[in-house]
Structure 1
Amino acid sequence: MKKHFYLFGIILVTVAASSCKKTFEDKPLELLTIDYIFDANDPTGDQASKWLTYIYSRIQTGYSRYNSAPLESISDDAVPSADGNGNWNVIRGGYSPISTFDDTWGICYNAIREANVFLANYQRVPWADSSRKVWFPNEARALRAYFYYELVKRYGGVPLVGDKVYNPTDAELTQLQRNSFEECINYIVKELDIAKDSLRPDASLANRTTDADFGRMRKSVVLSIKAKVLLLAASPLFNPSSTPNKPYTGYASYDAGRWKAAGDAAKAVMDLNLYDLEANPYTLVLQRANKEHIFFRTSDSRVSNTYAYYMSPVGFAPSGTKSEGRVSPTQEFVDAFGMKNGKPITDATSGYDPAAPYAGRDPRLERTVFYNGAKWLQRAIETFEGGKDKPNNPTVAPVQTQTGYYAKKFCANDSSSTNYTNTLYRDNGFVPAWCIIRYADILLMYAEAMNEYSGPSTAIYSAVEKIRQRGGLSPYTLTAGLSQSQLRDVIRNERRIELAFEEQRFWDIRRWKIAKAVYGTMLHGVTITKNTNGTFTYTSKEVTTPYFTDAMYLYPIALKETQVNPGIEQNPGY
């Protein structure tokens, strides 16, 4: 931790200064100081503003964040298409305190330190715009709380450093100990509550598309983060119903009231009446500012079609560039999508036909997965053996589907196009735009929390049915009289398919404490054979059984951190 806190402080001063409007002939860059960033003679607060803006850039993006694939490629929803992709090592349990993955410990504490630096120095600036003097410190406070949330969901309780800005020689850095999980949750929620009413006003939908500050902390964003935090705290991993957790891995005993607090937090967002579901789901990948996006990683607003090349089946090469088909969804994930009539495929009355397995399915399947026979760039996808998108020839396609499917989420509606449409993803020097919380997630958080607290209700049914209606189900209504357990299964499945590849499933199966069960079972794909009469035969194929132990519900703390600071106790089992 010592190295992280100190090193990034030096780097950031240089980065922040390199984009400023002042000239540097009179002072070498390596001599820039906090006094320069928080300039007592600059009423615009230009450099201080850039410092704050840079903290936002520490929020991680998604799409293909880890080993060029989404985090779901190490869940039960998908696997990497390439045999050599590093995510296979994670699937096989090949990580430890010595060799970590998705390690955000240093990133988050860097951001927390940057927020503390801002809070300790922003009043030096004679802000001409008095609103900034109110908004900016509360943005820093909310960002700090968010980064603690990112730590807690990975590691459990972590050291809370308060407002302290540590120097590299501070002996205390080597003595910090982990706060309990409960202390961390209480701190995060308190900080969010302090900040929520002192931020720039939420933009109306009419103004959102032209709002240059869309993505910065507002009341709606802070309330949404609070709902996420409280849902995590209420979930079985941290809110045990039987064996008590250690202080830094969760609460000592179960409390149903935590579900109520999470549901109330989600309802507070709903009651703002600022957000709704977009009628056309493709709007979510084409327009950064829309009715549904709440918490969005700020980035350059331009777009590209890079992501479509990354994910589209390997037989497509618009403009002469081959697609890469990086992600292979599992059969288990595909089977989670029911029929358009709202019934699961396991229901004998659903109309599901194993000989035509994609006919009449939930329309969200076609928007999420490339499957055999679906139309893409004016031709049918061919993932049958020897087909254009599974040629079984390494010279034609060195990487191809492991499961008979490719991931389509975040691609535009290009079934009839001749080239890929630009979407929000970029990969040419700008950080991709990434939505962290959208309104569909809020509705499902509300439904889950309130069902766990008090069982089925009309309000819960309404929240879930709203999503199913937008998804295109007909009828979209749920079966009347579902039990709490049955409705739990429905809500969890809706989260799986509605929020697919949005870095939800990976965390959901952990906080629900079902990861060991779903990872401990063989994951499947499909082998598709094209018959001489043009029909297809679909045969289940085994793909992999991920390795997972109870210890893996939390991440290991990197050895470099515990060596520098022996006071940080390692998570159990590592």
Structure 2
Amino acid sequence: MNKIINLALLVVAVLAFTSCRKTFEDHPLTFTSEDYIWDNTDVTGTYARVFLTKVYSQLPTGYVRINGVILECASDDAVPSNTTNATWNIVNGGYSPMSTFDDNWSNSYSAIRKVNLFLANYKRVPWADPLVPQYLGAEARVLRAFFYYDMMKRYGGVPLLGNTVFDSNDPELFKMKRSSFDACVKYVLGELDAVKDSLRPDQTLANRGSGNGTAEGTDNEAGRMRKSIALAIKAKVLLLAASPLFNPSATPEKDYTGYPAFDKERWKAAADAAKAVMDLNLFALEPNRYTLSTTHVNKEFILMRFGASYQTTWGNIMSPVGYTVGTTVSNGLISPTQELVDAFPMKNGKPISDPTSGYVAATPYANRDPRLDQTVFYNGATWLTRAGAPTVETWEGGKDKPNNSSVNGGVQTQTGYYLKKFLANDANKTAFTPVMYHSSVTPTFCLIRYADILLMYAEAQNEYSGPDASVYSAVEAVRQRAGLVPYTLPQGLLQLPMREAIRNELRVEFAFEEHRFYDIRRWKIAKSVYGVPLHGVTIVKNTNGTFTYTPKTVATPYFNEANMFLLPIANNEVLVNPSMQQNPNY
């Protein structure tokens, strides 16, 4: 069980180690021997550090990592603009063990194996500073805990390897059974609690950005696991465990996933865990949300997957197809749905369905939540400077919906909208401000930010005790930063209306940050919001310059409640291991 593969046979990515902020990306591979990595003459442990840095490079990357589009193109928030994109196969037919989707099984176990290799060997290095191995060993265990969590939200219970490093031919590897979901939760929480006080110290707010919410912070070790990150991951795990998918209100027959009867105390544990992060007083909401796109280190980011430096590529591939910057034609790859657009309230905070909100169907984007303009390109939006067409034109025959195969190969919006999220505020500029994305290497991506913690707390506390003052405060802080006036929620909300308000706030605040796809599954609402017709809008420009907006159906996604709340384990994993049980009804 405790065999360790000879590292002389292992391909290790050798990274030019300076700081984590610059090295969490792939570099050319070289063969490196075991003695070279765990060098018993190197008091700095250079290659041992590099080995662990490689594990950081396997954290999720976000952006266009699924068939060249964003994960939310398989949710109720968007569809691919290109009708031949492979994600349409998921939209129309779902997924199966033979055709998986967002499958992170191999990547996660690869990372976990590297962690176990590191933990089995790093003490062989004669570290000059005893704090370094303490920090690195604790970091490795937090990383391992995160990779288990990342699988749990997809598959439920998964095999727990402990500290074992299996040889690829070890027969015990092919006898591993899935642990129950509860056992996985217990293991991950135990790991996080065991090392949270052994991690490198957290940085103060002052080192995470300027007071005006625009400048990059000066934390050179940002991205390294710290106590705050361990606590934030703990909150994520506990929220998942408290959610209806894993904490059902009706007692089902137990199976290998080990779903328990409903346990209200799980919500309290999740709320307490989120509150523990809030009580650190180490994070704050950035006053300018565009800061989240234009800085790697800021007051709001808690856990980031570091990668490329700033680039302009994202602007080219996401902007409406009628925009050409320099010699590059924009691609408009993502088409947000009408359902997402309608989820954004008016600037006064009222939903557009409220007769007193001031919403006018003939001018549907006027006086809306400022986050709509930061997330979606809509007809009439201001973007860059373009001769002859100063605003976005997604009306039939407009610059950005030309219905012409000679423009961008015929690829154009399916819904009347394009994706703007993660771009800078370039409405009045001639070129793109560099942002964090780069298409040729794995980019920086924020996995947990402070707004997430606030809304996690609000969700869990509301489910546990109802909408008390602390729930209002957490939600309203996010709404205030968004620019809603007034930002306050109606007083006297009951638990159900507050639940809906929190879920909608999560949707609009975290649009395209890989929340929605898994949120609608852990809440068990995917069938009612995703397995139904999704819409866009057909826009006709009238002779008097006004527009007529007509809803249209763009997709009716397939979703089977019998199995699709969890993802399937790839068929080859089940074939090579007879003990590996597939998720139900696949």
**Match for residue 25 of structure 1?**
none
- Identify which of 231, 246, 251 aligns with 1:238: 246
Q: Which amino acid aligns with 1:251?
A: Y
Residue of structure 1 equivalent to 2:449: 438
Q: Deviations over 1:77-117 (max 9, x none)?
A: 00000001111011112421112121110100000000000
What code does the residue aligned with 1:59 have?
L
Residue 194 (structure 2) pairs with residue 194 (structure 1): yes
CA distance in 1, matches of 2:516, 2:8: 37
Distance 1:508 1:11 in 2: 41
| Corresponding residue of 1:217 | 225
- For 2:292, the equivalent position in structure 1 comes to 284
Distance 1:533 1:511 in 2: 48
Instruction: Please tell me whether residue 474 in structure 1 is matched to residue 485 in structure 2.
Output: yes
Aligned partner (choices 562, 566, 573) of residue 578 of structure 2:
566
Within-5 A mapping of 1:346-357: 346-357=353-364
Amino acid at match of 1:501: F
Partner of 1:297: 305
Match of 1:15 in 2: 13
Q: How does 1:54-65 map to 2 (within 5 A)?
A: 54-65=54-65
Give the partner amino acid of 1:15: A
What is the aligned partner in structure 2 of residue 344 from structure 1? 351
Cα separation, 1, equivalents of 2:264 and 2:332:
44
1:111-510 paired onto structure 2 within 5 Å: 111-208=111-208, 209-244=217-252, 246-300=254-308, 302-378=309-385, 379-397=390-408, 398-428=410-440, 430-510=441-521
CA distance in 2: counterparts of 1:213 and 1:247, whole angstroms: 43
Matched, 1:38 2:38: yes
2:541–2:548 contact (8 Å) kept in structure 1: yes
Q: Could you tell me how far 1:520 is from its partner in structure 2?
A: 2.1
Per-residue CA deviations over 1:300-329 (Å, capped at 9, x if unaligned) read 4x2011011111100000102000000001
Letter in 1 for 2:302: I
TM, length-normalised to structure 1: 0.95
Deviates more, 1:248-257 or 1:529-538: 248-257
Taking the aligned partners of 1:516 and 1:11, their CA distance within structure 2 comes to: 47
DSSP-derived class of the 1:474 partner: coil
Alignment correspondent of 1:24: none
CA pair 180-10 structure 1, distance change in 2 beyond 3 A: farther
Q: Deviations over 1:206-251 (max 9, x none)?
A: 2342222101100111111110110000000010111426444352
Aligned partners of 1:183, 1:250: CA distance in 2, in Å?
8
Alpha-carbon distance in structure 1 between the residues aligned to 2:173 and 2:547: 63
**In structure 1, distance between residues paired with 2:148 and 2:8:** 22
Partner SS, residue 193 of structure 1: helix
1:112-143 deviation per Cα after TM superposition (whole angstroms, max 9, x unaligned):
00000011111100001211111000000000
CA–CA distance in structure 2, aligned partners of residues 406 and 115 of structure 1? 40
For the residues of structure 2 that align with 1:261 and 1:322, how far apart are their CA atoms?
A: 50
Q: Is 1:519 paired with 2:527?
A: no
- Report how far residue 20 of structure 1 moved: 8.1
Q: In 2, Cα distance between the equivalents of 1:98 and 1:472?
A: 46
User: C-alpha separation between the residues in 1 aligned to 2:255 and 2:202?
Assistant: 37
Query: What letter matches 2:54 in structure 1?
Result: Y
Aligned-partner Cα distance in 2 for 1:33–1:469:
55
Equivalent position amino acid for 2:306 in 1: T
Q: Does 1:554 align with 2:561?
A: no
The 8 Å contact of residues 10 and 32 in structure 2, kept in 1 or not, is answered as no
Pair 1:549–1:31, CA change in 2 (3 A): closer
| CA gap 1:10/1:542 in 2 versus in 1, 3 angstroms | farther
Contact 2:5 2:165 (C-alpha < 8 Å) held by counterparts: no
Whole-angstrom distance in 1 between the partners of 2:380 and 2:431: 19
SS of the aligned residue for 1:376 comes to coil
Conserved 8 A contact 2:301-2:448 = yes
Are residues 163 and 376 of structure 1, via their aligned partners in 2, closer, same or farther at CA, if it must alter by over 3 Å?
same
- Asked whether the 8 Å contact 2:10–2:31 carries over to 1, the reply is no
Secondary structure of 1:92's counterpart equals helix
Quick check: 1:259–1:452 contact (8 Å CA) kept in 2?
yes
Q: Deviation above 6 Å: which 4+ runs of structure 1?
A: none
Task: Find the aligned partners of 1:32 and 1:63 in 2 and give their Cα distance.
Answer: 32
Q: CA deviation at 1:334?
A: 0.4
Cα distance in 1 between the residues matched to 2:272 and 2:488: 24
Equivalent residue letter for 2:225: M
Q: Percent identity?
A: 60
Q: For 2:31 and 2:372, locate their aligned partners in 1 and report how far apart those are by CA, in whole Å.
A: 56
Structure 2, unmatched stretches of 5+, are 19-28, 209-216
For 1:417 and 1:248, how far apart are their aligned partners in 2? Answer: 56
CA contact (8 A) 1:384 1:528 kept: yes
Residue segments in structure 1 that go unaligned for 5+ positions in a row: 22-28
- Number of residue equivalences: 559
Q: 1:383–1:405: 8 Å Cα contact kept in structure 2? A: yes
Matched residue of 1:425: which SS? Answer: coil
SS in 2 for 1:52: helix
Whichever residue aligns with residue 226 of structure 1, its letter is: K
1:538 maps to 2:566: no
Name the SS of the counterpart of 2:303 in structure 1: strand
**Could you say if the C-alpha distance between residues 296 and 121 of structure 1 is closer, same or farther in structure 2, counting changes exceeding 3 Å?**
same
Tell me the amino acid that sits aligned with residue 433 of structure 1: T
Shift of 1:12: 5.4
Separation in structure 2 between the aligned mates of residue 200 and residue 44 of structure 1, nearest angstrom: 16
Note the C-alpha offset of 1:521: 1.4
Aligned to 1:26: none
Distance in 2 (alpha carbons) for counterparts of 1:44 and 1:184:
35
